Amino acid sequence: MTRTPFPGFAAADLAFLTGLAAHNDREWFTAHRAVYDDRLKPTLSALIDALNGALAARDLPLAGDPKKSVFRIHRDVRFSKDKRPYKTHVSATLTRDGQKLSPGLLYVHIEPEGGPAPAFDPETIDPLDPSTLPSAQEEQAGYAGNGPFAAAGFYLSERPHIDAFRRAIVADPKGWLAVERALAAKGLPLEPGEPTKRMPKGFEDHAGTTLEAGLKRTRWLVRRPLTGAEIGGDDLPELIADFVAEARPLLAFGWKALHGVRTD
């Protein structure tokens, strides 16, 4: 099967997302959706294909399907005060088994370059995209953009997974602190991670220790902001794969911690 080379995201195609933010309605989307269908989506698919090769070359067991790994551009507005029907970015995940939110993933978020992206939040159809939340939308007056980025790590929602990760930190504190140091050395501080206000049940004895911050997290993720020039270049797959390689200590620790954990 011949793969389409990744050409970079053209500025003219990204302008569709800026326009969609300014005219977020069905009429405008329908009139301009050819840009989305014929250019943006195929470019994102080509990026996923190229990432599959770049990640495999680095012995990173993450992969995506050019069709199944992509998030829909339609927002879920059923329970939202914000009824704007469309997201203003395109995004996808790559995982070990092809499921979008399997533990230990790479998330790619493409939109026109803008301000810094906010923290992750689960209350959306695209769980790794906080800009779809009503609260996030209300805080933004008009379209400022969150900016393109890649994220890697563990976006966990199942309690057995979260507790297993915490138990692994307690069981191997030196190993976990080594992960934190390795990430910091690469300029990849952990995201806030939706921390609990109090020490989690069963881990109270570790309050005030060097493990407290890690144990209070419910998600363990690192992020690499991307520039407009980077997402427009054909070497974007290599840049993102290099980032994931730098996050390897976190992925390895988490996969080991969650091995064999059942959530049913």
pLDDT in tens, 177-211: 999 999 999 999 999 888 999 999 999 999 999 99
Give start and end residues of each alpha helix (H) in 23-78: 26-35, 41-57
Query: 55 by DSSP, 3-state: which?
Result: helix
Confidence at residue 113, expressed as pLDDT on a 0 to 100 scale = 86
Residue 128 has pLDDT above 80, yes or no: no
What is the model's pTM?
Answer: 0.87
- Is pLDDT above 80 for 1? no
- pLDDT, position 78: 80
Q: pLDDT tens, 198-244?
A: 999 999 999 999 999 999 999 999 999 999 999 999 999 999 999 99
Residue, of 3 and 182, whose pLDDT is higher: 182
What is the rounded average pLDDT for all residues in the chain?
87
Is the alpha carbon torsion for 181, 231, 55, 102 positive or negative? positive
Mean pLDDT is lowest, of 22-36, 81-95, 112-126, for 112-126
User: pLDDT-based confidence at 3, cuts 50/70/90?
Assistant: low
Query: pLDDT at residue 25 above 70?
Result: yes
Binning pLDDT at 50, 70 and 90, where does residue 129 land?
Answer: low
Task: Note every long-range contact of 227-233, with CB atoms under 8 Å and residues 24 or more positions apart, other chains counting.
Answer: 227/113, 227/148, 228/11, 228/14, 228/112, 228/113, 228/148, 230/148, 231/8, 231/9, 231/14, 231/110, 231/113, 231/148, 232/8, 232/9, 232/10, 232/11, 233/8
The answer, yes or no, to whether residue 146 has pLDDT greater than 80, is: no
